[in-house]
Amino acid sequence: MSETHDHDHGHDHEEAGFGVALGFRIFEADGGIYMAEAEVSSYVDDPTSLGATLVFHNLTDLDPMSAPDEDEGDEGWRVDIDDELTRDEAGGTRDQFHAILRQLAGLSEQDLRDYLQQARTESGVEESGEGEQA
């Protein structure tokens, strides 16, 4: 599915569709602390079908005392996981959403580390760049 559909990640509110971003897990990898966020959204070409993208944010250098808008440039590392998801795309949106959430909840920390590495590789970030912000 990821090869034939584009996600509507909620950035363009004029489009009909569904989109929600959920930060669902904080974990450690390669000496850094990361937040895994899932963007679950409808496809632009089929708003009744949902897919998901994992976005990883490096929290290692996050300053909790900084102004909230100082970190807005951090887009994170992204990896599309549509092909790994099991859901009935012909089913209702709520059922698809719940199926995706259950699968996200079942991801192990090792799964997240593997997806983080895949996202880094796809974005061209070398392993030695763990401390870099995306």
Question: Residue 77 is encoded by which pair of tokens?
Answer: 């590392």
Domain, as residue range, for 33: 19-125
CB 35 within 8 A of CB 57: yes
pTM of the model: 0.76
Angle at 35 between CA 126 and CA 123, to 5 degrees: 30
Residue 30: pLDDT band (50, 70, 90) is very high
pLDDT in tens, 34-84: 999 999 999 888 888 999 999 999 999 888 888 777 656 678 899 999 999
User: CB neighbours of 30 closer than 8 A, spacing ≥ 6?
Assistant: 127, 130
Query: Is the sign of the CA dihedral 93, 94, 98, 101 positive or negative?
Result: positive
Domain presence at residue 23: yes
Is 58 within a domain?
Answer: yes
Structural domain count, the chain: 1
Helix (H) or strand (E) holding 31: none
Question: What's the half-sphere exposure (Cβ side, CA atoms, 13 Å) at 26?
Answer: 5
92: which 2 tokens?
């209702």
Please state the rounded mean pLDDT for residues 11-17: 48
In a domain, 52, yes or no: yes
